[in-house]
Amino acid sequence: MTRQNTVARRDTTTRQHNTRPSGSARNPVPPSRVPVLVGGDTTAVCTADPDTGRLTRIAEPLPVRTAYAAAHPDLDLVYGVDEALDGTITVLATGPHPCVRQQTPSRGSIPCHLAVSPTSGHLVTANYGTGDLLVHRLDARGALAEVTEHLRLPGSGSRVHPERQDAPHPHQIVFASDDTLTVVDLGGDALSTYHLAAGRLHLRATHPVPPGTGPRHLAGRWLIAELEPAIWALPDLTRHPLAAPGLPSAIVTAPDGAHVYAANRGPGTITTLATAAPHRMSHLPVGGAAPQDLAFVGDVLYVAVPDADAVTAFRRTPGTGTLRPLGVALRTPDPRCVLPLRRIEPTRPVTRSGTPRSDS
């Protein structure tokens, strides 16, 4: 990502939609399957086969770019960002008939992450390019209501890497509770804690990381750094360097908490790190050079691999944490995010002509 100094603003009027993909029809699928949203050049709601790991679309993909997404905790809604220079936030319905509900500008450049407060009162969006946070109040239906805060992060960046750290660049938002959140600032080499009250953000504390680290994402107490390829353990910031140079992109914790998994763009690998001493580490190719996102559904780990136009899947062995490749789970253009969802009424997949299909 690069910072854009001049941002061309869109019309700030919120755009409402209720478009449904053609040909969707209600047909039963096995109830054991979990719904999963896959975002990229298009956005699709799929079901995950627990035996094979395959992802099957329940309807036609939506013509909306989703680079990262966050689910509403109570409703079948997802909020997505497009990482555009003139950014957009999209609200998607993810039930049996996926559709676009709403779109509005992010009021900043390159929105790359967003999070919903646990009691679903607010949505917070990180504009990476312009170094600011946008807070929307959510109404009872989960729609974006008024903007209650538009806050630029303090500081001028750590400047260790001039092209990436010339200013604050928020890369992730993590809620610890309904009114407390952490902002991972890649540009400022910092983790900042904010209090959210009445829709306004108040800085409580800033926790620096070593200069030039470029923190990107948190998973529990584990931090992945993009500019210094390593996994860091909080709070003491113990460093576990990755075996190969690259640009790490995502980190997830195993369902049992015994291992963390980090994606590394460049070498195209997943790093497995045991969370207990002696912290054994191993590495596995993902089927492409630039893995972007990771998500667990049960013991299956999904990896969005944009340069392969595919989501690949791996079966995790409990105890050892070993990953076994299951192959391509879904072919889709430029996948960027994989998000497990609440269970929905299942639907049989359709082709572009509206007839049911059996492949994915």
Q: What is the DSSP letter of 244?
A: S
Contacts of 243 (CB under 8 A, 6+ apart): 269, 271, 281, 283
How confident is the model over 184-203, as a mean pLDDT? 97
pLDDT given for residue 354 in this prediction: 38
- Say which range, 178-192, 280-294, 313-327, 332-346, has the weakest mean pLDDT: 332-346
* H or E element that contains 92: strand 88-93
The CA–CA distances, whole Å, from 310 to 40, 266, 284, 292 equal: 10, 16, 17, 11
Helix, strand, coil shares of the chain, percent, nearest 5, are: 0, 50, 50
Per-residue model confidence as pLDDT tens digits over 95-142: 889 999 999 999 999 999 999 999 889 999 999 999 999 999 999 999
> What does the alpha-carbon distance between residue 184 and residue 188 come to, in Å, rounded to a whole number?
9
How confident is the model over 289-309, as a mean pLDDT? 98
> What does the alpha-carbon distance between residue 126 and residue 95 come to, in Å, rounded to a whole number?
26
C-alpha closest to that of 352 among 17, 44, 29 = 44
Per-residue model confidence as pLDDT tens digits over 306-353: 999 999 999 999 999 999 999 999 999 999 999 999 865 444 444 433
* The pLDDT of residue 14 is above 80: no
Count the neighbouring beta carbons within 10 Å of the beta carbon of residue 340.
16
CATH of domain 15-340: 2.130.10.10
